[in-house]
């Protein structure tokens, strides 16, 4: 098995993050967040490295990564659209936004387009209930989202 330059870079980034958090109690979650912030996702090769560095089992690390939906296994698209599916937004038409995203971007919730342009996800509350349905685009929350506005956002994401 050969190790590529990108694998070495990933391992070096993970090792540096672990070193920065080594003195903390229960550092796994902060380390995972830092890895995702640095690399855009938590790659599979991080699991055995973290298990070894933190004296945990691979199953423990994998369990945490797979339990929390905010940790990505693969890099997200250039644009990330998160549609709120909590009760208030659902009552105000979030289902239609999910249908719009699937039809316009050609992906289901939790998927990234093959061209890497957009990832569409669901989230259960963006804290913007009074202005539902709400959508988060690259970290910015938009309220009173309509299918027309969402189509425009998706079209721009795909074309850029």
How do beta strands 140-142 and 135-137 pair? antiparallel
| pLDDT 10s digits, 4-33 | 556 668 899 999 999 999 889 999 999 999
The arithmetic mean of pLDDT across residues 83-98, rounded, is 97
pLDDT at 101: 95
Does position 2 have pLDDT exceeding 50, yes or no?
no
Does position 3 have pLDDT exceeding 60, yes or no?
no
| pLDDT 10s digits, 37-64 | 999 999 999 999 999 999 999 999 999 9
The arithmetic mean of pLDDT across residues 83-103, rounded, is 97
pLDDT at 91: 97
pLDDT at 130: 96
Question: Residue by residue, what is the 3-state secondary structure of the chain?
Answer: CCCCHHHHHHHHHHHHHHHHHCCCCCCHHHHHHHHHHHHCCCCCCHHHHHHHHHCCCHHHHHHHHHHCCCCCCCCCCCEEEEEECCHHHHHCCHHHHHHHHHHHHCCCCCEECCCCCEEEEEECCCCCHHHCCCEEECCEEECCCCHHHHHHHHHHHHHC
Does position 83 have pLDDT exceeding 50, yes or no?
yes
pLDDT at 5: 52
pLDDT at 69: 83
């Amino acid at each position: 098995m050969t190790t590529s330059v990108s694998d070495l870079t990933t391992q070096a980034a993970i090792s540096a993050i672990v070193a920065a958090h080594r003195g903390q109690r229960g550092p796994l979650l902060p380390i995972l967040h830092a890895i995702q912030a640095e690399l855009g996702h938590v790659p599979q090769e991080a699991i055995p490295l973290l298990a070894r560095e933190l004296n945990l089992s691979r199953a423990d690390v994998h369990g945490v990564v797979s339990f929390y939906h905010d940790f990505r296994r693969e890099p997200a698209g250039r644009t990330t659209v998160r549609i709120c599916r909590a009760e208030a937004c659902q009552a105000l038409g979030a289902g239609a936004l999910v249908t719009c995203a699937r039809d316009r971007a050609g992906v289901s919730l939790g998927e990234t387009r093959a061209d890497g342009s957009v990832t569409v996800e669901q989230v259960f509350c963006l804290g913007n209930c009074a202005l539902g349905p709400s959508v988060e685009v690259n970290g910015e929350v938009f309220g009173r989202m309509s299918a027309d506005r969402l189509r425009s956002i998706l079209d721009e994401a795909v074309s850029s």
